[in-house]
Amino acid sequence: MNPFNYKRRLTSETRVGKVVIGGDNPIRIQSMTNTNTNDTDGSAEQVIRIVQAGADLVRLTAQGVREAENLRNIKAKLHESGYNTPLVADIHFNPRAAEAAAKIVEKVRVNPGNFVDRVKSFEHLEYSDEEYAQEIEKIRSKLVPLLNICKEHGTALRIGVNHGSLSDRIMSRFGDTPEGMVESCMEFLHICVEENFKDIVISIKASNTIVMTKTVRLLTDRMEKEDLAFPFHLGVTEAGDAEDGRIKSAVGIGSLLADGIGETIRVSLSEDPEREIPVAKKLVEYIMQRQNHEPITATASPKFSPYSTDRRKTYVVENIGGDQVPVVISDRSAGNFELDAHFLPDYIYAGASIPENAPRAIPLIVDVEGWTGLKKTYPLFSNHLSVNELIVEIENNQASIKFIRTSFSDLNEKFLHFLKQRSDLVLILTSNHLNAVGEQKAFFHKLLDAETETPVIVEHQYGEDEREDLQIKSGADFGAIFLDGFGNGISLRNSGTIALTAIDAYMFGILQASRLRTSKTEFISCPSCGRTLFDLQTTVAHIKKSTSHLKNLKIGVMGCIVNGPGEMADADYGYVGAEKGKVSLYKKKECIEKNIPSEQAVDHLIKLIKDNGDWLEPET
């Protein structure tokens, strides 16, 4: 994996019906139905809508043998309508359903966390090595019959590990860690390899984008060491809906695609599944534009680990750097100073001079030629100066923070030496390279090697008129930098027609999706499927309307128990489908109230938040 120069990872090929995943084939797009799999007509109609939107594969849940068997009727209905898109059966807790589905559809997804192991109880279990080996044999006894059926029928297998459904056995030995997720996958993968079964796709999913990216990288490394190169399916689970879902998916999936990892993807949104497809296609198309770019000459720093969650060490300049949350810089150089009180930037870039209508409550950054020394204003030095000229100008300036707009090509030895002598500088890092993310990563690696601790604001420039396009592109670009532990702030500039207040909100959203700064309630909501036990979209909208003013809370909204308590384990409160029309409420991992009628459940959730002292009345 080259962190600077984009190149797709070379993988083996996995055949899923008429579609081949991996190798030199295009990155495949997929989604999942949210209909009842026993509803043949409704499921077939939704599959058709997903395929018409551009999906290469479609997944359906099969929670029991009855649902698995009905996949035959859905498939026949699709064939009658002229659709031969491969179908994937999604299995949890039920090896018999997997075996039935494997005789019908082109691929079966199993979850190592619950294919054999019991429902997660968060109970710590102690195993001797011998007892642990016996548990692996239990897996083998259930998995090998499925593999034999898959071989007979030409059915592929996805080994799909979810952060939220690691078994108690894995959790007890490895903890809730990337290493545990990797081991959960490798247990199944080793059995497949021993049985000479190779039509495999791997997925490692989490709602936490840092956990997701680090674990996929760790598993890639583990497989390479064992001379395995199976293709990856990428996705961020429970990403949510609307702006948040798009940004969070772009941050997580885009970061790995930028590494060259990922042969098929799903953008999981709490919306109609066909709406996921255009988002996924835009994300893939954007990353693929980097192919065959001009090479970036750089060397990976030995001080950097792609598996670590540590952030680059920097000094502190007022509210920038150190352990402080990354700052938001809003470009208002066009003279528009309309602001959203919910997403106030930390700094405003005013341009060449300070207009009379510029706000005085927010610190201003102004080009050094127009800086007059006013209180709460700071100069911006341009990288068009030579290093010698820049040094002279900075040494003659009395501002407490001196911003310098710079790029990778400026980072020579003299400039690095100068940076190391100062503790009042903040760099604003730009790039015009086709692979701007790779060039910016090269910049940070060079800073690491030089042991330079200057804080850096990451900046990207776009020209978008469509909000979704900007959310996807900026999420992918900034996320790839932030998830590597780089960056002390964000500056998103756009020359298109999108409102500046919306752009400010996107910057805060990217930081939140990158797990760096919380500015609003985070809703960890699943995308819905045939297991969902209530109207997910309506419920998410209702909960958002009632609780979105609680800025420092995470609220999980899960359609069923499969990933519910686990995937939302770091959420403060959880709302989980228990049975048809009934909901259970959680505080952290603890179930507080069971089987509440769904029409009363939101009111009960609000009461639970109030009873625990986390409620604030919304501002009027």
Per-position DSSP letters for 242-282, written without gaps between them: HHHHHHHHHHHHHHHHHTT--SEE----SS-GGGHHHHHHH
Helix (H) or strand (E) holding 598: helix 598-611
- C-alpha span between 547 and 222 (Å, rounded): 42
Asked if residue 527 lies in contact with residue 276, where contact means CB atoms within 8 angstroms, the answer is: yes
Same fold, 316-513 and 522-611: no
pLDDT at 527: 59
Closest CA to 16 of 25, 8, 7: 25
- C-alpha span between 230 and 215 (Å, rounded): 15
Quick one: DSSP state of residue 231?
A: -
For the chain, which residues make up each domain, given as ranges?
Answer: 13-288, 316-513, 522-611
Query: What is the CATH architecture of 316-513?
Result: Alpha-Beta Barrel (3.20)
Q: Does domain 522-611 have CATH number 3.40.50.1980?
A: no
Asked if residue 60 lies in contact with residue 90, where contact means CB atoms within 8 angstroms, the answer is: yes
Compute CA distances 176 → 148, 313, 566, 592, whole Å.
32, 26, 10, 22
Query: What is the CATH architecture of 13-288?
Result: Alpha-Beta Barrel (3.20)
Would you give the distance in Å from CA 55 to the centre of its chain?
Answer: 20
Quick one: DSSP state of residue 431?
A: -
Closest CA to 59 of 67, 48, 47: 47
Closest CA to 203 of 85, 66, 75, 111: 111
- C-alpha span between 119 and 112 (Å, rounded): 12
* Residues 6+ positions from 134 with CB-CB distance below 8 Å: none
pLDDT at 122: 56
Quick one: DSSP state of residue 125?
A: -
If one counts every other C-beta atom within 10 angstroms of the C-beta of residue 536, the result is 23
pLDDT at 376: 94
pLDDT at 618: 77
- Alpha-helical (H) ranges within 203-349 are 209-225, 242-258, 276-288
pLDDT at 563: 54
Asked if residue 88 lies in contact with residue 109, where contact means CB atoms within 8 angstroms, the answer is: yes
* Residues 6+ positions from 222 with CB-CB distance below 8 Å: 182, 186
pLDDT at 429: 98
* Phi, psi dihedral angles at 252 (to 5 degrees): -75, -55
Q: Per-block average pLDDT, block size 10, for the chain (620 residues)?
A: 93 97 97 94 97 97 95 98 97 93 98 78 72 89 97 97 84 87 95 97 92 96 97 84 88 97 94 94 98 96 95 97 97 95 96 92 95 94 82 91 95 93 96 98 98 98 98 98 98 97 97 92 68 70 82 78 60 82 85 88 90 82
